[in-house]
Structure 1
Amino acid sequence: MDKILEAIQAGASGEEIASLPIPESYRAAYVKRDEADMFEGVDSWDKDPRKSLHVDEVRTPELAPDEVYLAVMASSINFNTVWTSIFEPLPTFGFLDRLARESEFAARHQRDEHIVGSDASGVVLRVGSAVRNWKPGDRVTVHCNHVDDQDPSAHDDSMLAANQRIWGFETNFGGLADLSIVKANQLMPKPTHLTWEEAAVNALCNSTSYRMLVSDNGARMKQGDSVLIWGATGGIGGYATQYVLNGGGTPIGVVSSPERAEILNRMGCEAVIDRKAAGYQFWSDEHTQDESEWRRFGKDIRAVNGGEDVDIVFEHPGRSTMGASIFAAKRGGTVVTCAATSGYMVEFDNRHFWMKLKKLLSSHFANYAESYAANRLIDQGRIQPLLTDVFSLDQVGEAALQVHHNKAEGKLGVLCLSPEEGLGIDDPEKRDRIGEDKITVFRNS
């Protein structure tokens, strides 16, 4: 890997990179199968990714015809990395075992270590015999939709494919490593004005937000729509805020501190609700929700939204907020959800749902076309990275703990093969045109 890094830093040609040998092993972050019960009986909050995530050498898998070897320059932390590291809601080795039954090449994923990570930026080192559109030396980012296009269910919307998976979560050989194997249809051009770490943090969360709000598969946000965004400075919320602003809508950002409210204001989001300062208690106990708190929340929303309820609710906390989200949406409005970080078993008052003709829409990551469109907006400088801090690969456990305990704004980048921050900018003039202050708005918060 040292020779590969030297070649990349020296600006080696694609032919020169293709001539370099692929190492027999590489450094990666992973969890172990025989430790899947290490947190048994421990409260979720107290489960520590620093204990379960290991960084060491792993053997290099064989390359399938439709894949590439990727030198991973940088990656990032997502909630699915946290879920894998704390083995919730279940250990991810079951995903790998089911994948292994599909084909000869799929069997490679069944290992006693699960290499994690669902984002990456890097350089293509080698391509499989069936790869057409990419070549060694290409600088790319990776989206995490792992799908087999031989399945007919994948061709209307690949997120509906019977065997759709999230790379690095439901597959092995993820991006938190110096090397990865990636299907060619996961690759996208790296935005030329961004560093490796800035380019690495976007694909999963940016594509997810694009599908939820902009795509025909999502809420189909239009100009003038007001959108309530939970966690509006978080990994997906920060991109959602930008899409609402870019699309001529009004974001109402829900955050948990004055500092996060200030970030939203700098982004151009004027309507902000500090949920911690307001002290909402949507649940009076673990079994009972408090409708009076929903009503207080709705009143606060109308106070910053011109006296109106919101057209769309951008929902992802799940159990703690779904009742309030359904209540807060306007008559005929839409709640679009992609996750359940506070709990999967959600409840809401169906009277406020059916009698006011509201819609609850599910959304999961994004298909290739949506991911590509979202990446293009990053490359155009219309959507900015949410990078707030950068860790080394050896610090991946600490980075995952910060996300687990909601200590991080935006996205946390992880340097993999890249030896330091600030590398990988291919078009500094374009960066100047877009503006350093815009690109680093979260970093400088």
Structure 2
Amino acid sequence: MSSSMSEAVVAGADGPTLASLPLPDHFSAAVVHARDVDMFQQVSDKDVRKSLSVDMIPMPELAPDEALVAVMASAINYNTVWSAMFEPVPTFQFLEQMGRAGGWEARHHLPYHVLGSDASGVVVRTGSSVRKWKVGDRVVVAPAYVDEQDPDTHRDGMLGDGQKAWGFETNFGALAHYAVVRASQLMPKPALLTWEEAAANPLCASTAYRMLVSDRGAQMKQGDVVLIWGATGGLGSYAVQLVRNGGGIPVGVVSSEEKAAVLRSLGCEAVINRSEIEDGDPTMLEQPKGWKRLGGAIRKAVGEDPHIVFEHVGRRTFAASVFVARRGGTVVTCGSSTGYDHTYDNRYLWMRLKRIIGSHGANLHEQCEVNRLFSLGHLVPALSTTYPLAEVGAATRSVQTNEHVGKVGVLCLAPRPGLGVTDPQARAKVGEDRLRLFQRAEHDAA
């Protein structure tokens, strides 16, 4: 942290002070390199610690509709794992496409890719056309990078042809001391949260919100039974909270008794241990016998089949999800962490009038609705553990190997955890035990 700008941000300097200071020429960032895209060919364990590094990179120019954010904290998402594994395609293909578009997009086409799609921090520069944000504002960053000149963006930000996942399909992402964002990605940081707690939420919480609550998703209603795969992971932990808050009945699927205990502490009384269904066979849930076992376990837990299945695991679970949804029920999916090629019995879809809804990220309105819930204390961060930026490889590896619960945070400019709270009264009202639920769970598991 050699630059006076970085030191001033950490010290809490006001906007005019930050505006008067020069930007550093270079800064630390977690990157993958184009020269390494073939490093995992014919390697069974694609250990992301080997591909991720923290390098000094030059400060990029700022477009008129962008802001430069001094990143206090970030978090690991599964898209960081994909990027570091160079799967399903190397993300340099996305950067090359941006380069071909020309103009300001050309900056992104570089031989290195700065990763990361979650951030909290301080605005230190704004482009000439930015109106609603100023230097010194404390912000969190929404990961949806949209083209405001695309007509479909005005129908729904996620439908525009130019929509991208920031820090995955764009460069200059969150796992760095500084990040370049569009002004349309900015939201006010919840004042009751620490930097690392605030950074853990935007991508996963908003994705879960769109899947379950938004009129573009499953439109969950009171009393709905919702099966949630990976219920103590980044997506699942927010899904459990949203279902409970909305009067639904969450049925959480986890992989161990330790994670089951975390889930119960969240208030999810119906818990299914996947290992008991699989009984030593990791392909069990891809077989009709496994589907029926799962359906029986759900009925035993809550007495009926799920109205909604919250799906993001993919190949290993998708057939089971289609099977167990009740007649007229909905499977809503936002990803496929175990593989994109899904095989399921279509009879259970068409003959029982079920629906599959594809969901991706969240538009800015949905993001802001979720951000408000955190500011009110109606949702709590799923942050379980925090690493320094220098150990970003280990942080990403923990997500790659599913060793974590909730979200894994990364401190960038913030020198230690626990900083950034500006409304201690609101924090006290929610309670430290509740806000640190996942951090305590990680400590207890250790």
Structure 1, residues 267-300: CA drift from partner, whole Å, max 9, x if none?
Answer: 111000001133255746xxx9421221111011
Distance 1:394 1:101 in 2: 33
Corresponding residue number in structure 2 for 1:8: 9
Q: How far has the Cα of 1:349 moved from its partner?
A: 0.2
1:353 corresponds in structure 2 to 349
Matches within 5 A, 1:134-149: 134-149=133-148
Distance 1:262 1:303 in 2: 19
CA distance in structure 1 between the partners assigned to 2:98 and 2:6 by the alignment: 32
Distance 2:113 2:230 in 1: 29
SS where residue 440 of structure 2 aligns? coil
Name the CA distance, whole Å, in 2 between partners of 1:179 and 1:291: 49
Question: What is the alpha-carbon distance in structure 2 between the residues aligned to residue 399 and residue 272 of structure 1?
Answer: 27
Q: 1 CA distance for matches of 2:12 and 2:294?
A: 55
2:364 is aligned to 368
Superposition deviation, residue 102 in structure 1: 2.0
1:385 aligns with 2:381: yes
* Residue of structure 2 in register with 1:130 after alignment: 129
Normalised TM-score (structure 1): 0.97
Which amino acid in structure 2 is aligned with residue 368 of structure 1?
L
TM-score (norm 2): 0.97
Match of 2:407 among 411, 416, 430: 411
> Would you say the 8 A contact 2:278–2:290 is kept in 1?
no
Structural mapping, 1:152-231, within 5 Å: 152-231=151-230
Does the C-alpha gap of structure 1 residues 106 and 398 become closer, same or farther in structure 2, counting only changes over 3 Å?
same
Deviation, 1:35, is: 0.7
Aligned-CA RMSD value: 1.2
**What amino acid is aligned across from residue 345 of structure 1 in structure 2?**
D
Match of 1:398 among 391, 394, 398: 394
CA contact (8 A) 1:257 1:277 kept: no
SS in 2 for 1:388: strand
Give the structure 1 partner of residue 293 of structure 2.
Answer: 296
Q: Distance in 1 between matches of 2:363 and 2:98?
A: 20
Alpha-carbon distance, 1:13 to partner: 1.6
Cross-structure match for 2:46:
47
Contact kept? 1:282, 1:293, Cα under 8 Å: no
Which amino acid letter does the alignment assign opposite residue 351 of structure 1? R
Specify the SS of the correspondent of 1:123: strand
Q: Deviations over 1:98-124 (max 9, x none)?
A: 012223100000000000000000000
Q: What code does the residue aligned with 1:113 have? A: Y
Which residue among 413, 418, 440 is the counterpart of 2:436?
440
CA distance in 2, matches of 1:193, 1:326: 40
Give the gaps of 5 or more residues in structure 2.
442-446
Judge conservation of contact 2:316–2:338 (CA < 8 Å) in 1: yes
Higher deviation after alignment, 6-15 or 72-81: 6-15
What are the superposed Cα offsets for residues 168-208 of structure 1, whole Å, 9 maximum, x if unpaired? Answer: 00000000000111100000000101111111010000000
SS of match in other structure, 2:327 = strand
Q: Residues 37 and 90 of structure 2 are in contact (CA less than 8 Å); yes or no, is this contact kept in structure 1?
A: yes
Following superposition of structure 1 onto structure 2, how do residues 181-330 of structure 1 map, counting pairs within 5 Å?
A: 181-279=180-278, 281=281, 283=283, 289-305=286-302, 307-330=303-326
Cα distance between partner residues in 1 of 2:46 and 2:282: 26
Which one-letter code corresponds to 2:12 in the other structure?
A: G
Q: Please give the alpha-carbon distance, in whole angstroms, between the structure 1 residues aligned to 2:358 and 2:438.
A: 28
Separation in structure 2 between the aligned mates of residue 293 and residue 337 of structure 1, nearest angstrom: 20
Q: Partner letter of residue 246 of structure 1?
A: N
Is contact 1:315–1:338 with CA below 8 Å preserved after alignment? yes
Question: Residue 47 of structure 1 aligns to which amino acid in structure 2?
Answer: K
Corresponding residue of 1:342: 338
Structure 1 residues 134-176: Cα deviation after superposition (integer angstroms, max 9, x where no partner): 0000000001100110111211011011111000000000000
In 2, Cα distance between equivalents of 1:289 and 1:433: 45
Alpha-carbon distance in 1 for matches of 2:34, 2:12: 39
The answer to whether the 8 A contact 1:229-1:252 is kept is: yes
How far apart, in 2, do the equivalents of 1:419 and 1:314 lie? 37
Aligned mates of 1:53, 1:202 — CA distance in 2: 23
Mean Cα deviation higher: 47-56 or 235-244? 47-56
CA distance in 1 between counterparts of 2:407 and 2:115 reads 16
Kindly provide the amino acid, as one letter, of the partner of residue 308 in structure 1.
E
Change (3 A) 1:388 1:282: closer
Letter in 1 for 2:374: I
Quote the offset at 1:435 in angstroms: 0.7
Partner of 2:444: none
- Tell whether the 8 Å contact from 1:282 to 1:290 is kept in structure 2 after alignment: no
Distance in 2 of aligned mates of 1:133 and 1:10: 24
The answer for unaligned runs of 5 or more in structure 1 is none
Aligned to 1:36: 37
- Paired AA for residue 13 in structure 1: D
CA deviations 1:9-40 (Å, max 9, x no partner) are: 43322111111111111100000001111111
Q: Which amino acid in 2 is paired with 1:408? A: H
Secondary structure of the residue aligned to 1:70 is strand
C-alpha distance in 2 between matches for 1:295 and 1:276:
15
SS in 2 for 1:107: helix
Deviation digits for residues 40-99 of structure 1 (CA, Å, limit 9, x no counterpart): 1112xx111111001010011100000011100000100000000010111100000101
Task: Give 1:121's aligned residue.
Answer: 120
Q: CA deviation at 1:352?
A: 0.7
Residue type of the partner of 1:21?
P
